[in-house]
Chains A and B, each alone.
Chain A
Amino acid sequence: MNNAYAAFAARRLVQALVVILLAYVFTFVVVSILPGDPITNVLRDPQNGFSEDEIRQIIAAQGLDQPVLVQLWTSLTRFLTGDFGLSMRSSRPVGTLIAEVLPSTLILASSGFAVALVLATGIAYGTQLVPKRYGQGLLRGFPSLFLSVPNFVIGLVLIHLFGFQLGLFRVIAPNSFWATVFAAIALGIPVSAQIAEVLIANLDHERAQDYAAVARSRGLGPFRLFARHLLKPSSLPVVTIIALTLGELLGGSLITETVFGRTGIGSLVQRSVSTQDLPVLQAVVSLAAVVFVLVNLLADLVYPLLDPRVKLVGAASRRPTTADDGASQAVTP
């Protein structure tokens, strides 16, 4: 087991590093090679007032006259040493720009995640404990509904109801406590649906197992069956889903921050998109990929330790969760 685990861990680690490097290259290709030339567009923008000579100097200084492969190599080696280059708009280090806005996004994303987890467990456990005639069907419909609502709409509805009508928070103070709470709710609702769907599928699966029937035949009531037998095996696989929702949180914060007027990674991306500030975009996207890959690596490494049922066979270490939908089929490698 230990040898098998070490081999598994080593293989996953190498895979993760390869994916991170490739993600960087992929982003580089997308932002620098596709049609349109944002760099000279920005430099030639009359508002910036650079002369032809200055433009040539800047391009030379940034190494933009080098062949693409050389540019890729320098930017990749810099990235690996933690140097993300300079923003094209403000000429400040990209690392500093990101570090400035990161705390705000971390607060939003972590509270959004907390909201998602509470909602998801509430809904999923509710489907097991609430009897059919008291609205179990309604609870089962929630994840699908949550996935059908654009999260900017949730944000706008919350702003309209609680900000304008009830006056709980003011839109012009986006970092106040209540504004953050409602931003977190807007961010968390779509994410909760993904977790809830998998959790419900797992719970239903466990409840149909023989051991559950045995427990019922021994006279266990629905609540004790749930608490003693179903809760643990169906909740453990969620660890890996949680890691996957990270991307959703990052993408969602882009919109949520715009809706609520917060500063953060999302607003930084939006500003960089409208000014075509490529170094910033390259850094944010690659860092998002790094974080995503590392968190999923961690989940993959921790999971076999948590769940003794997982066997590490050959190249394929499959997680036991197999909810039958596209979203979670995407989970198993």
Chain B
Amino acid sequence: MSLLSPTAPVTTTSRLAALKVPPTVQLSFVVIALVIAWSVAPGLFTSHSPINGVPADKLLGPSAAHWFGTDHLGRDLYARVVHGTSSSVSSALIAVVIAAVAGGLIGLLAGFFGGWVDIVLARLVDVLLAIPHFLLAVIIVTALGFDTTNAAIATGISAVAVFARVMRAEVIKTRQAVFVEASFLLGGSRWHILLRHVLPNASRSVLPLAVLQFGLSILVIASLAFLGYGDPPPASDWGLLISIGKDYLKWPWLVYAPAFVTIGTVLSLNRISRWLRQTD
């Protein structure tokens, strides 16, 4: 960026321009914006009903009238995907929030206090890591009962360990920084240092991880839905749509269309996460 004269106002647009968002990242943001719009107001994007079909129109291929074709009950698949977005996305959000809050807290305590607290929490995290995370999600959702919210909780718990590790490493790194030492010497209390210095610095590397985990959670929740551990039909979570489509492989768009939407969303999230990590 060129040197600005002291009087030149730094506008928001010039800041954004200085970030130089690569085109693939811009595209990713567009995809995510669309997905969010789908989940907030599905009715704006399709006039077809996701639940009531026209039996005469069953198993039609993709066309101008039915972008993703129709399923075995004559329901518009595009409408089903759009209406299923809210549940797929919000459940992934629940999972990430659980994982980031619980994992972040564990990592924060372990890293900040060290000693016995650290040792005890480290073993807890080891245990969570020792059980394959998908298997962990499966047994937790079994214990809680099969529905999409429980699948989200299970997915969140299975990702706690990842956040705990990253948070702990960041906290330890920040705690040893000179400015933290300075703050301590200036009379900053533990809480002041924790809230004012350690937490904001550590959260910078947690954000890209959270975005990445958001994408992974979509996949895990889709897998749980695929195995039938989410809400039953006529819900139209993406994983469930693919699961229904697998019984109609002669009409492959029933699998490919929802799969394409899932992959596009997760891929965009991965790209944004990588970009956030680089610009950090």
Contacts and interface: CB of A to CB of B under 8 A. Distances in A.
Nearest to A20: B130
B142 A273 contact: yes
Contacts of A273: 138-139, 142, 229
A31 B139 CA distance: 7
B86 interface: no
A31 B143 contact: yes
Given A247-B133, A273-B142, 12 more contacts: A18-B123, A19-B123, A30-B143, A147-B270, A152-B226, A159-B249, A251-B132, A254-B134, A254-B138, A285-B135, A292-B131, A333-B122
Secondary structure dominating the interface of B: helix
A250 interface: yes
A289 interface: yes
A231 to B, nearest CB: 25
Given A148-B266, A150-B262, A333-B122, A23 B131 contact: yes
A329 B202 CA distance: 14
A101 B166 CA distance: 37
B131 A326 contact: no
A288 B213 CA distance: 23
A148 B215 contact: yes
Given A15-B126, A30-B139, A164-B250, A150 B145 contact: no
Given A250-B135, A330-B129, A156 B242 contact: yes
A248 B138 CA distance: 14
B224 to A, nearest CB: 10
Given A150-B223, A150-B262, A326 B132 contact: no
Nearest to B132: A247
B235 interface: no
B222 interface: yes
Contact of A19 (B126, B249, B250): B126
A129 interface: no
A293 to B, nearest CB: 5
Nearest to B258: A153
Interface string B152-189: 00000000011001100100000000000000000000
Interface of A: 15, 18-20, 22-23, 26-27, 30-31, 34-36, 144-145, 147-153, 156-157, 159-160, 164, 246-248, 250-252, 254-255, 258-259, 269-270, 273-274, 276, 281, 284-285, 288-289, 292-293, 324-327, 329-330, 332-333
Nearest to B229: A273
Contacts of B143: 30-31, 34-36
B208 interface: yes
30 contacts: A15-B126, A19-B126, A19-B130, A22-B127, A26-B127, A26-B128, A27-B131, A30-B139, A34-B144, A145-B267, A148-B270, A150-B239, A151-B223, A152-B242, A152-B246, A153-B259, A247-B132, A247-B135, A250-B134, A250-B135, A251-B133, A251-B135, A255-B134, A258-B227, A259-B246, A270-B227, A273-B142, A285-B131, A288-B135, A326-B213
A276 B142 contact: yes
The winner among B132, B165, B212 for most chain A CB atoms within 10 A is B132
Q: How large is the interface on B (under 10, 10 to 19, 20 to 34, 35 or more residues)?
A: 35 or more
Nearest to B266: A148
B211 to A, nearest CB: 10
Given A26-B127, A150-B222, A160-B252, A254 B271 contact: no
Contacts of A276: 142
B16 to A, nearest CB: 24
B140 interface: yes
B25 interface: no
B263 A149 contact: yes
A153 B126 CA distance: 30
Contacts of B133: 247, 251
Given A19-B127, A150-B223, A288-B132, A329 B266 contact: no
Nearest to B224: A255
B95 interface: no
Contact of A329 (B124, B134, B165): B165
Interface string B241-260: 01101100110100110010
Nearest to A286: B131
Contacts of B127: 19, 22-23, 26, 289
A268 to B, nearest CB: 12
Contacts of B226: 150, 152, 255, 258
Contact of A148 (B123, B245, B267): B267
B274 interface: yes
